[in-house]
Structure 1
Amino acid sequence: MPIRVRRIRRVRPSRAFLAVPAAMAALSTALLPSAGARADPAPRESRPVHSYADAIRESVWVDTGLDGDGDGRSDRVAADIVRPREPAAAGRRIPVVMDASPYYSCCGRGNESQKKTYDADGDPVGFPLFYDNYFVPRGYAFVAVDLAGTNRSDGCDDVGGRSDIRSAKAVVDWLNGRARGYTTRTGEQRARATGWSTGRVGMIGKSWDGTIANGVAATGVEGLETIVPIGAISSWYDYFHSQGAPLYDADPSWLSDYVASSDARYRCGAVQDRIAAGAPYSGDWTRVWSERNYLPDASKVKASVFVVHGQQDLNVRADQFGQWWDALAAHGVERKIWLSQTGHVDPFDFRRGDWVRTLHRWFDHYLLGYDNGIDREPVADIERAPDRWSTDRIWPPRATGTVTLRPGPGAVPGVGTLGRTPAAPGSTERFTDDPALGETDWAASIDTPTPAKAGFVTRPLTRALRLSGPSKVTVTATPSTRTAHLTAVLVDLGPDTIRDYAAAGEGITTLTERSCWGADTTGDSSCFRETRARTVDVGHTVVSRGWADLGTWADPREGHPLTPGRAYTLTLRLAAADHVVPAGHRLALIVGGTDKGLLDPPSTTPTLILDLARTSARLPLVGGAAAFAQATRGIAAVRPAPALPPPAGAGVPPRAGHPIPSGALR
């Protein structure tokens, strides 16, 4: 059940925030209430009254206190800053929006892969994304931090470990006067932020950047007031493995080489070797994974958290946001969530106008202290169909209850039933792992006996049925070999039009037209290419997924060889999801082996026999058991249409099969 959130202390805006310099009065007049209108007693929205063209642009190198590259000097990380000149001239301090990233020089940020740019003197000119263009005129500073070992920073990137987190946390400390900063990478002239920074910081970023925001928040650092992780990781183990089963190329060391500067690539080979040695392909849990797991430290989080994630993100999969959300909820952290139908996509590219307005209000509230009501609005926005959204005041809804469904044998072998009645003892289904097939192949053949999967379906629903939250599937399986992997997927069987998350763009199409969000300079445009939803007609929709190595049946952190012919019981964790199965559709549970393009196959080709009497699915259904009973009672008013073939490549992430994919975590 959801718990009452802990209220984060709000700060009233200081007189400095409320005052508008005389020089800016004419500019702000058009944005204030007209004559005769009643003025609000306190500001509710920051206004673009500051000059972006005249903003101060500078670089600072912050001491991390680490020597990751072993050169005998404390590593310094580069922080490029753009901030309005007017508050500084008036002696007023301002809050900071910060994006700490490893991608500023290697790969770029955003849908247009923008990189930082500098003038001949090395001073920053262009900042990726719209945060600087939009927020600097509204009285914020924007700080873009190069993680250790990337772009202009010292040290070595360590893929979400101590160096990554410390390099970003050090900048938060510097903004609060607790760390040393310098005007150059090697010099000794000090740079201080206490004259212009309030110390109140909001971290934001997609993918690796958002992951760093999660990790820094988990340190409990003072001054970090809010984070906005977009498609972000909460546990790096679960990025590379799932309950012992390897996902993609399950070796984190190549990622550090992918983002490292040329200097760091030369110096940091030993760091990469240590990461690789501590992250065995077997999927066993090690200290490397403990250091990169932020979940146990959710109790330290003092910042509010605005989570954004694509439910069909097959890069940073949906289990990452689900377990982070639950950990934050357990400790009463104030939070908000947007869940889209996309893959690994920034909300600026799937809901642009609403996103900018919401983010503006979020930062105004948590960084400027404006009482604009955003903390009293519905917690969750969920995309139900392309560009159609619903809201929930609490997520998952309070009426959500866990319902145990049981697979049973059907009239045709290999095509079973799914309901509330347990199967008779001795009931079984069998399948043989086929690494050439995956979840979309299994779903397309759900009503046909095939050797590579065991499928179980409800009758057509008479009422819509909503799943909201994570699921668990417990299987009792007897393998024929000493190694075996398992996949469990929940599928909505019925025709629909969805975002085409498996295609290039992962649910969006990028257009040639541009829209502008903020102010411009010659070297930094605020205009970005527009997008629209890329859709596809399907005969089924995968709702949630989970994978495991059967060898972890006794200990999820350590695998062991199996004894052929012996039955093992294991529970697979399926990612959090929020999905409505319409009336006339059916809900399916499919159990298979290797999920093509998502899970690496085991060293053998096992056949597995499922004991149906000891196999079950625990699903989070809104309305609980009563809702399921009502939805499966009688004959559906609408019969499901014939299944359509899956879209080309459906279910296969863009990075599948590439040892160093061009998209990586971006």
Structure 2
Amino acid sequence: MQSLAAIAVAVLATVTLQAPAHAAGQPPTSTKFVDITGSGGVDLKANVVAPTTAGKHPAIVFPSSWGLNDLEYIAQANTLAGRGYVVVSYTPRGWWASGGEIDTAGPQDLADLSAIIDWTIANTAADPARIGAAGVSYGAGISLLGSAFDKRIRAVVMMSGWTDLVYSLYGDNTRHQQSAGLLSLAATLLGHPGADLSGKLADFNADRNVEQVQAWARVRSAGTYLDAINANRPAIMIANAWGDSFFPPDQLVDFFGRLTTPKRLELRPGDHAIAEFTGILGLPNDAWTSLYRWFDTYLAGVDTGIGAEPAVQLQPLNAGAERYPDWAALNTATRRYGLGAIRWLDGTGLLGGAPSTGWSKTLPADLDTVANGGVVLLTNGVGAFTGRQPQIWLPAVDRLRAGVWASERPPAPTKIRGIAKVHLNLTGTAAHGTVVAYLYDLDSLGNAKLITHAPVTWLGPAGGSRTVDVNLSATAYDVPAGHSLTLVVDTADPLYYDENTLGGSVTIAAGSYVDVPIR
């Protein structure tokens, strides 16, 4: 899938290069392909698109995405050069024709970014005081990390990036199988992973040397260097998708809240890099429009008004755009939905009210149901274009394999904004185990639309009682009047590795509940 995307971008870039480099009314631009020497003498392939007008210009550096190359941004580079920017896009080390081995946004990649900036200042009309960095996915992560180590980066736009790579790999102690598998496939087909990355991926897949893998990931996480970023004070815009299956948005919330720089957070429907995809093709795109406004304000010195707007900009999954001054303003209350006893007649319990007592529900371990998070990139990605959430028919959920709890049907909509939290009391568990919780919008015909979900894994002593708490992926969704908020819990999902033992069981006990942020 990554390789097909890379080929598509390369073909698109070839077509784009044959087109005029500037739009009507914009100054002419020039395009050239260059080799830039990175850290340790590694050759980095790059292209430069720049205005031909005299004088110094603000500059933007674009590291390409995982599996792609410097042609990825050629359409946007033409647009930005027409707006007066020097744009340097490059292929990070270890990818395509660039030298070296993949460093996965590590110290060598950050040294390369600084070397690219050195070259840009020395060889183009870039103004050293007005340097920005931006990208999608891998390029986004490198750009944000670079702002902690290079004070010359005065503005950053991170689209579909990460701030905590440990969480991305091991969220709630659960390894993300499909996303890591695609990253590994792309590295093998299109890059030079080397012993470091290959070893870490092998350890991740085999669930060994976890502390070493997490330490490696921590070095590659912007959250590790938050104090340095705040000290350097670049203006940071973060754009992501609610359904990002590579870098779920929960990790962004704490990071964004602790940023003291000029900042903006935008969340839209979709999956990883889907919300920005049409912009890569050179088509109108809201995320890229925000990028123009962000850099115009913080690099070009043009007051677009974006700095005065509320810092959090949301496109809910099924409602109109909303703006908030900060993340805490999304919701006004938290509503607790207690899990009740399972009814014999329909195999469903009541979701709502205080947590009830005197019941339990036993689930067989490591057996899936039709309730799942879908396929990485595709399931939530399609929703970004169709406006429709992933859907199942709830009666098809096997009650012998899953616990199902449905709320009463209120006469008014329930507006969920933020991060819902599931608290489960478990008894008689194995030492290691996994459950996956799904929150659905259930209509009167049994159609259930997925609102949010997350897995949680415990690693501890066998037997006895334990509690597990899981933050579901952040969301903004309006449950229509007359619909039922529904929780499904099972023990397997193709998106994730689980720690269950086939033939074992997990028992959910009384006192369990879901806390839902409501506006």
Same fold, TM-score > 0.5, yes or no: yes
Please tell me the residue identity of whatever aligns with 2:278.
D
Q: Secondary structure at the match of 1:243?
A: helix
Unaligned runs of 5+ in 2: 1-21, 374-390
Which of residues 337, 351, 356 is equivalent to 1:405?
Answer: 337
Determine whether 1:548 maps to 2:479: no
Determine whether 1:490 maps to 2:439: yes
Which of residues 376, 391, 398 is equivalent to 2:308?
Answer: 376
8 Å CA contact 1:545–1:575 kept in 2: the answer is: yes
| CA displacement at 1:487 relative to structure 2 | 0.7
Paired residue for 1:259?
A: 190
Q: Deviations over 1:425-483 (max 9, x none)?
A: x3222212354424259963369771111122211122222222223222221245443
Structure 1 Cα separation of the partners of residues 167 and 339 of structure 2: 28
8 Å CA contact 1:430–1:609 kept in 2: the answer is: yes
Which of residues 127, 130, 133 is equivalent to 1:200?
Answer: 130
Paired residue for 1:635?
A: none
Structure 1 Cα separation of the partners of residues 137 and 288 of structure 2: 18
| CA displacement at 1:157 relative to structure 2 | 0.7
8 Å CA contact 2:348–2:403 kept in 1: the answer is: yes
Which of residues 78, 84, 93 is equivalent to 1:133?
Answer: 78
Structure 2 Cα separation of the partners of residues 331 and 491 of structure 1: 33
Structure 2 Cα separation of the partners of residues 173 and 274 of structure 1: 32
8 Å CA contact 1:57–1:80 kept in 2: the answer is: yes
| CA displacement at 1:423 relative to structure 2 | 1.3
Which of residues 477, 486, 493 is equivalent to 1:588?
Answer: 486
> Using a 3 Å threshold, how does the CA distance of structure 1 residues 135 and 79 change in structure 2: closer, same or farther?
same
Determine whether 1:340 maps to 2:255: no
For residues 511-660 of structure 1, what are the structure 2 equivalents within 5 Å? 539-551=447-459, 560=460, 562-563=461-462, 565-600=463-498, 602-613=500-511, 615-622=512-519
**Greater radius of gyration (CA):** 1
Please tell me the residue identity of whatever aligns with 2:134.
I
> Using a 3 Å threshold, how does the CA distance of structure 1 residues 400 and 479 change in structure 2: closer, same or farther?
same
Structure 2 Cα separation of the partners of residues 485 and 230 of structure 1: 31
Q: Secondary structure at the match of 1:620?
A: strand
Higher helix share: 2
Structure 1 Cα separation of the partners of residues 198 and 278 of structure 2: 37
Determine whether 1:61 maps to 2:36: yes
Determine whether 1:282 maps to 2:282: no
Structure 2 Cα separation of the partners of residues 146 and 376 of structure 1: 35
Paired residue for 2:116?
A: 171
Please tell me the residue identity of whatever aligns with 1:368.
A
8 Å CA contact 1:471–1:573 kept in 2: the answer is: yes
Q: Secondary structure at the match of 2:251?
A: helix
Structure 2 Cα separation of the partners of residues 59 and 245 of structure 1: 42
Paired residue for 2:28?
A: 51
Of all paired residues, the percent bearing the same amino acid is 18
Paired residue for 2:58?
A: 95
Paired residue for 1:271?
A: 196
Determine whether 1:215 maps to 2:145: yes
> Using a 3 Å threshold, how does the CA distance of structure 1 residues 448 and 154 change in structure 2: closer, same or farther?
closer
Paired residue for 1:36?
A: none
Structure 2 Cα separation of the partners of residues 484 and 196 of structure 1: 54
8 Å CA contact 1:131–1:142 kept in 2: the answer is: no
Structure 2 Cα separation of the partners of residues 346 and 495 of structure 1: 31
Structure 2 Cα separation of the partners of residues 343 and 458 of structure 1: 28
| CA displacement at 1:144 relative to structure 2 | 0.6
Please tell me the residue identity of whatever aligns with 2:451.
V
8 Å CA contact 1:379–1:391 kept in 2: the answer is: no
| TM-score under structure 1 length normalisation | 0.63
| CA displacement at 1:549 relative to structure 2 | 1.7
Structure 2 Cα separation of the partners of residues 618 and 173 of structure 1: 50
CA RMSD after TM alignment: 3.3
Structure 1 Cα separation of the partners of residues 285 and 44 of structure 2: 34
8 Å CA contact 2:367–2:401 kept in 1: the answer is: no
Paired residue for 1:422?
A: 355
8 Å CA contact 2:394–2:447 kept in 1: the answer is: no
Unaligned runs of 5+ in 1: 1-27, 32-46, 67-73, 109-114, 117-126, 177-191, 497-537, 552-559, 623-666
Please tell me the residue identity of whatever aligns with 2:227.
S
Paired residue for 2:403?
A: 454
Structure 2 Cα separation of the partners of residues 198 and 548 of structure 1: 47
> Using a 3 Å threshold, how does the CA distance of structure 1 residues 372 and 107 change in structure 2: closer, same or farther?
closer
Please tell me the residue identity of whatever aligns with 2:453.
R
For residues 276-355 of structure 1, what are the structure 2 equivalents within 5 Å? 276=201, 279=204, 281-282=206-207, 284-286=210-212, 287-301=215-229, 302-314=233-245, 316-318=246-248, 321-344=249-272, 345-347=274-276, 349=278, 352=284, 354-355=286-287
Q: Secondary structure at the match of 1:431?
A: strand
Equivalenced residue count is 467
- Higher RCO (CA 8 Å, separation ≥ 6 residues): 1
